[in-house]
Amino acid sequence: MAQADHPEIISPAPGAALQGTVSIIGTTDINNFSYYEVAFAYDEGEEPGWFEFKSAKKMIRDGELAAWDTTTIADGVYMLRLRVHLENGDTKDVVVRGLRVRNYSAIETNTPQPAAALESTSAPGETTSVVTQNTPVSSDVSSNPAQITPGQVTRFLVGGALLTAVGFVCVGLFFSMRYSKKRG
């Protein structure tokens, strides 16, 4: 089987909602492979701060590159990068954007995935191919329809107290009338 020209992340897909430990599936089996790194960053800003969590010297084709434990980070929108280092010192990157980590908040519905856009950049001594897959993601988490606000709790407590008081008055009147009939 021939080697590919660029690395690939097959899963997770752009815009996916992630919980717990997530298997990163992809391919690093490319020409002049030396080693690879998997990292994540917040999906905002031009120059993200990448957090590397896996590095390996093993070429992989359509297999697990890493296991990403998302319970150790805050819920939010992230991007994932696979960087393959080549024997000549160059690198090739694949970036998947719009990954929604939702361990502690509600999961919105998945958004449709647009076609991947391929970008290539060159710098002296470094050749980088970046596949950026963009997915529009709303940062607004839908409100929980079963959520109770502090104002509603107060109204329910006051209403319950009034209803209880009315109940005691009614029971008192009933027994008062019954007692007066027996005496009279």
Stretches where the chain sits below pLDDT 70 are 1-3, 109-147, 184
Average pLDDT score over the chain: 80
Determine the Cα angle at 25 with ends 21 and 26, to 5°: 150
Indicate the pTM of the whole model: 0.59
Strands 91-101 and 126-133: parallel
Burial profile 8-29: b = 16 or more Cβ within 10 angstroms, e = fewer: bbeebebbbbbeeebebbbbbb
- Residue-level pLDDT at 145: 57
Q: Can you list the alpha helix ranges (DSSP code H) found in 52-104?
A: none
The owner of tokens 């980088």 is 128
- Residue-level pLDDT at 180: 85
